[in-house]
Structure formats: C-alpha cells, structure tokens
C-alpha cells in the first residue's frame, strides 16, 4: 500500500482474549479476577512463513473442530504451550497485552455513576438533568488497550506511518464494529473528550442538548500524532490465531494466580510478569519508577 508516494510498512497483530469480558453493570457474579487480551506482532515480510510454520504446530494437536488450547487434555496443553512459547522466543516476536481487574473495573463505573447522581442532586436548573447510567464493555476496553500498546510499539520501532492488520479468530459483526470504534477513538484522541446527548424539555417544548466533557491537562509531552496509522480488523482460524489463544490464556492464568500479590502495584508491570516465560518479549511493561499504564491507574487496584 502506498501512502503519499511511498510504501508504508505493514504489520500484523494476532490477538485473542481470555477471562472476563462483560459489561460493568452485569459482572458482579463473575468468577474471573481479570480480563486479558494478548497478542504478538508479525512484520508483513514474515507473515506467510510464520503462518505456515504455526499451522504445522497446530496440525499436531487439532484434526477436527477443536481450535482452543482449553479443548486439549492437560498434558497436550503443556506440550502446545511449550511449542508456541519456544517459537515466539526463537523468532523474537514482540508480545503485548492488556489486563483489567474485574473488581476495579466494576468499582470505577460505580463511582462514576455515584458522582453523576451527586451532580444531579446539586443541579439548580429548572430543567431536570437527564437520567444517564455510565457503563462499558470490558471486552472493548481490552481491545482498545492492546491496540494502544501495539500502536506505541510500532511508533517507537517503525516510525509514525504504518499499516496495522489486526487478526483474531472469532469476531462477530457487532464486536468488530465496536473494535473499530475503539481504535478510531484512540487514533483521534485529544486532550478534551466530549459526549453529547439530547432530551425534550416538556416545559419549554424545546429540544435541549447536553454535553459532558473531560479535559486532561499536561499531556503535551505524551501525546503523539497517530494520524499516519492505517488499520483493518479481520478474522482467521489458523495456527496464527491459535498462538494468540495460547498467549492470552497463559497470561490470564499467570496474572490470576498472582493477583492478590500484584494488584496493589498493577497488572502491567515488570514485577507482575516476573517468572513468566516470555516476559522479555513483552512490550510496554512499567517499572516502579515509571508512569503506570492507563489501565493500572484507572482500574487495577485493590478495592
């Protein structure tokens, strides 16, 4: 693909989710401690070879309709995981993940709604403040988080203009549309975020428009121009997506096992991934003296 007269660099993100992925207002009974979306990056000039080689690994374990590591016996799971991990390590593939605490996610939106109810109670306008309940889907936030990480990784290593093709194994049209929306939100991010809605005022007989805005200060040193990123999202059932399934499943297990030990300092830190076989392949982990990830600041804390 050409962009302004020259060929853009092209990359593939192979990703999958594991654990929780529901809505903030309906997850109280979730048995999962975290939601995870994880993946790995493949340059365009390696995708054909890596697909072929990972398909060979897949064919050693799956001959019918089973396509996930959880469909295998415990011994087969260990064997497949070792093969995939070794392949990623040998080929020096960048890995990325987003992880969000279920209890922190629920608590964040509870607090947001309570604050809005407080604002409604303080409203002195003759017009009633509209009834609004803030909620979010964890699945969509996980995608936005991993998309942000991979965009930052490529921005650091490939420059500010590239094509990113996201591939996952089971995306229906509704989820795909929301993934695209979350990616567009990130690529057009500004310091001011606005949400607008309308209601009919029965007293004045007029349509009134409301705007809720959030402004983030002091981001000039952190914001970068992402307008040169072009992306698409596709689905595929192959060894490529099986490897992403293995990666997501293993990171979820690792974080869930260490949850009580690490939640105070975050789920996307060097310490959180200590002891994980591919920890040196993971991009974007923060150290104790660095700025935490967005999700660690908002959601990943003991409630």
**What is the residue extent of each domain of the chain?**
2-191+225-298
Question: According to the model, what pLDDT value does residue 6 have?
Answer: 39
Question: According to the model, what pLDDT value does residue 163 have?
Answer: 93
Question: According to the model, what pLDDT value does residue 115 have?
Answer: 80
Question: According to the model, what pLDDT value does residue 207 have?
Answer: 75
User: For every one of its 303 residues, what pLDDT tens digit does the chain have, with 9 covering 90 and above?
Assistant: 333 443 558 999 999 999 999 888 887 767 789 999 999 999 999 999 999 999 999 999 987 666 789 989 999 999 999 999 999 999 999 999 999 999 999 998 888 888 877 766 665 555 555 566 778 999 999 999 999 999 989 988 888 889 999 999 888 999 999 999 999 888 876 544 555 656 666 677 777 776 666 555 555 555 567 778 899 999 999 999 999 999 999 999 999 999 999 999 999 999 999 999 999 999 999 987 788 888 998 888 776
Q: State how far the Cα of 296 lies from the Cα of 99, in Å rounded to an integer.
A: 8
Q: State how far the Cα of 181 lies from the Cα of 185, in Å rounded to an integer.
A: 6
Q: Which pTM value belongs to this model?
A: 0.84
Element (H, E) at 261: helix 259-262
CA angle, 243 then 15 then 266, to 5°: 105
Q: State how far the Cα of 212 lies from the Cα of 61, in Å rounded to an integer.
A: 52
User: Right CATH number for 2-191+225-298 from 3.30.420.10, 1.20.272.10, 3.30.450.20, 3.40.50.261?
Assistant: 3.30.420.10
Question: According to the model, what pLDDT value does residue 187 have?
Answer: 85
Question: According to the model, what pLDDT value does residue 25 have?
Answer: 84
DSSP characters over 136-177: -BHHHHHHHHHHHHHHHHHHHHH-S-EEEEEEES---HHHHH
């Amino acid at each position: 693909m050409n962009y302004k007269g020259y060929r853009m660099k092209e990359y593939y993100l192979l990703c999958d989710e594991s654990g929780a992925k529901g809505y903030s207002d309906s997850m109280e009974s979730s048995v999962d401690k975290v939601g995870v979306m994880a993946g790995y990056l493949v340059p365009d000039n390696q995708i054909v070879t890596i697909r072929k080689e990972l398909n060979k690994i897949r064919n050693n374990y799956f001959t019918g309709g089973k396509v996930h590591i959880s469909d295998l016996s415990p011994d087969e799971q260990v064997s497949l995981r070792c093969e995939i991990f070794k392949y990623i390590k040998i080929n020096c593939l960048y890995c990325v993940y987003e992880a969000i605490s279920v209890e922190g996610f629920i608590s964040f939106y509870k607090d947001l709604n309570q604050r809005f109810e407080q604002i409604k109670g303080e409203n002195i306008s003759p017009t009633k403040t509209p009834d609004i309940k803030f909620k979010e889907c964890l699945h969509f936030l996980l995608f936005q988080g991993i998309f942000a990480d991979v965009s930052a990784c490529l921005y650091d290593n490939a420059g500010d203009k590239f094509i990113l093709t996201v591939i996952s194994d089971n995306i229906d049209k509704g989820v795909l549309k929301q993934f695209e929306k979350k990616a567009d939100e990130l690529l057009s991010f500004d310091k001011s975020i606005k949400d607008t809605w309308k209601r009919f005022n029965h007293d004045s007989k007029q349509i009134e428009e409301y705007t809720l805005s959030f402004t983030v200060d002091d981001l000039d040193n952190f914001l970068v121009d992402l307008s040169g990123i072009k992306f698409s999202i596709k689905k595929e059932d192959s060894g490529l997506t099986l490897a992403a399934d293995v990666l997501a499943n293993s990171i979820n297990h690792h974080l869930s096992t260490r949850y009580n030990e690490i939640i105070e300092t975050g789920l996307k830190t060097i310490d959180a991934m200590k002891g994980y076989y591919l920890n040196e392949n993971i991009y974007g982990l923060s150290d104790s003296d660095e700025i935490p990830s967005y999700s660690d600041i908002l959601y990943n804390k003991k409630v």
